[in-house]
Structure 1
Amino acid sequence: MSNSRKRASSWVDLTGSDDENPPPQPKQARVSASQSASATQPRPSQSLTRRDTWGEVDEEDEILDLSQDVDEGNGWVCVGAIDAKIVGIRYYDGYATMGEQVMIRREPGNPYDSNAIRINNVQGTQIGHLPRNLAAQLAPFMDSRSIVVEGVLSGEKGSWDCPINLKIFGPGEPVARAQLEAKLKSDRVPIKKLGIAAPKAPKKAVPPPQRRQMGYHSSQSSSQPSSSQPEPLPELGIEHFIQHSERFNPRDVEKLVEEWGAGEDALKSMPMAEQPLDLISTLLPYQRQGLAWLLEKERPVLPAVGSTDVVQLWKRSAERSNAFTNIATQYSTATPPVLAKGGILADDMGLGKTLQVISLILEGSPGTTLIVAPVSVMSNWVQQIERHVKKGKNMKVLTYHGSNRKRMTHGEFGEYDIVVTSYGTLGTEYSTKDRAVEKIPRRDGLFSTHWARVVLDEGHNIRNPATKSSVAATSLLATARWVLTGTPIVNSIKDLYSMLKFIGITGGLQRLEIFSAVLTRPLALGDPSAEAILRSVMRTWCLRRKKDMKFVDLKLPELSEYVHRITFRKDEREKYDAFQAEAKGMVKQFQAGKSKNGLNMYRHVLEVLLRMRQVCCHWKLCGTRVTDLAPLIESDEVVALTKENRAALQLLLQLNIESREDCPICLEELHNPVITRCKHVFGQECIERIIQLQKKCPMCRAELADNDCLVHPAVEEQAGEDPDIDVDTKSSKTEALMSILAASRRDPKSKVVIFSQWTSFLNIIQHQLNEAGMKYARIDGSMPAQMRDASITALESDPDTRILLASLSVCSVGLNLVAADTVILADSWWAPAIEDQAVDRVHRLGQTRPCKVWRLIMEDSIEERVLEIQAEKRKLVGKAFQEKAKGGKEKTTRMGDILTLLS
Structure 2
Amino acid sequence: MARPSGQRGSGRARTDSGGQRRRAPSRPAEKELIPVLAEVARDVDRAVQKPPTRPVVRTKFQVVALLVREERARVMADTEMGGARRTEQLKRLDGVATMLAKTAARDTSLLALLADDARVTDAARAFKATVMRAGGMEPPDEPEPTPPPAPTPTANNQVVPRSVISRQLANPFLAPDFEAAAERSAARARRLAGWELLEPLFRSFEYAATGQPACMALPEPRPVPLPAGRELMPHQAQVVAATSRGHRTFLLADEPGLGKTAQALLAAQAADAYPLLVVVPNVVKTNWAHEVSLWTPFRRATVVHGDGEQVDAFADVVIVNYEILDRHVGWLGDFGFRGMVVDEAHFIKNKSSQRSQHVLNLSERIRTRTARPLLMALTGTPLINDIEDFRAIWQFLGWIDDAKPLGKLMTALEETGLTPADPGFYAAARASVIDMGIVRRRKADVVADIPARRVADLPVELDGAVGRSIRAAEEALTNRLVQRYRAAIENRGDGAIVGGMIDHDLVRRVAAGELKDSSSKASGENVFTMVRRIGQAKAGLAADYAAQLARNVGKVVFFAKHVDVMDQAEQTFADRGIRYASIRGEQTTKAREKAITAFTEDPEVEIVVCSLLAAGVGLNLQVASNLVLAELSWTDAEQTQAIDRIHRIGQSEPVTAWRIIAAQTIDAKIAELIDSKSALAARALDGADDEDASSSTDVQLETLVSLLTDALTTDTVI
TM over 0.5: no
The answer to which structure has the higher helix fraction is: 2
The answer to which structure has the higher strand fraction is: 1
TM-score scaled by structure 1? 0.25
TM-score scaled by structure 2? 0.31
